[in-house]
Amino acid sequence: MTRSIPVVDYLVLGEDPHLVASECRQCSALYFDRRNACAMCSTTDFTSRRLSNEGVVRAYTIVQRGAKSGPFTSAVVELTGGGVVKANLIGVTDPAAIHPETKVRLTTFDVGTDDDGVLAVAFGYEPIGA
């Protein structure tokens, strides 16, 4: 069996892949990176919070250069129940196919295997109902 690892610490793999953020216990600000103190209220008390796998596109851009596999769409996704994440929209390169308020769902995909056979897994979002 191939061992899989997430490409970012806040992606949890398994039967139900999802994102996890650090939440400030005082003001509920969310962070994906490790924090010594909250940027909003300066407290140092955090808890882990599972984020929703669904959300809506708030902004996006289609990048025409840079990727060997062709253009890709980068988006800002506001998650249901709180949180904002920047990620690629999977399989969306036609501007007519995406707009702000498009509903999306988290998806994972393989990005490569190292010499030891460990598979790296990334995340993105795909339109719901597409």
Q: In this structure, what are the phi and psi dihedrals at residue 54, rounded to the nearest 5 degrees? A: -120, 155
CA-CA distance, 82 to 98, in Å (whole number)? 22
Nearest alpha-carbon partner for 99 in 62, 45, 47: 62
CA-CA distance, 91 to 108, in Å (whole number)? 12
Band of residue 44 on the pLDDT scale cut at 50, 70, 90: very high
Mean pLDDT throughout 35-57?
A: 96
Q: Considering the entire predicted model, what is its pTM?
A: 0.89
Q: Which pLDDT score is estimated for 92?
A: 86
Residues 102-117: tens digit of each pLDDT: 999 999 999 999 999 9
The answer on pLDDT for 65 being more than 80 is no
Q: Which pLDDT score is estimated for 67?
A: 57
In this structure, are strands 11-12 and 30-31 parallel, antiparallel, or unpaired? Answer: unpaired
Q: Give 34: exposed, middle or buried? Use CB within 10 Å, 0-12, 13-18, 19+.
A: exposed
The answer on pLDDT for 96 being more than 70 is yes
